[in-house]
Amino acid sequence: MSQISVIAKIPAAPGKRDDLAAALQTALETAGGEAGTRYYILHTDDKDADVLWMYEMYESQSDLESHMGSEAFKALGPAITPFLGGRPELIFTKPIGGKGL
């Protein structure tokens, strides 16, 4: 299986989670048209009102690299920076099995 996933913890500045989520909306829309992007899903955190989680899955490492090298991805940093409460944490994983693969 050559798929690769990213789990991103994205901290919002206190009280700015909704603004951060709105700023990420363009990324959600763009990912819908990216070849090789299987999932790109934004989540709230039920226990921490100042955290968002992003789950991403790509068909291959090269699809992830294309996503991260895109103009849309490069524009994302400046769009979300005013609402961040710290540096996002990225965890890279490889699925090994399960429903939906």
Instruction: For residue 99, tell me if it sits in a domain.
Output: no
Report pLDDT for 101: 80
DSSP state at residue 70? S
Q: What's the pTM value of the predicted model, to 2 decimals?
A: 0.91
Q: Is residue 98 part of a domain?
A: no
| CATH of residue 70 | 3.30.70.100
Question: How many residues are there in the chain?
Answer: 101
Q: How far lies 100's CA from each of 16, 55, 60, in Å?
A: 33, 14, 16
32-38: average pLDDT: 91
83 lies in some domain: yes
Provide the residue range defining the domain that includes 20. Answer: 4-93
- Of 11, 5, 1, 33, which Cα lies nearest the Cα of 91? 5
For residue 47, is pLDDT > 90? yes
Give the count of domains, the chain.
1
Mean pLDDT of 66-86: 93
101 domain residue, yes or no? no
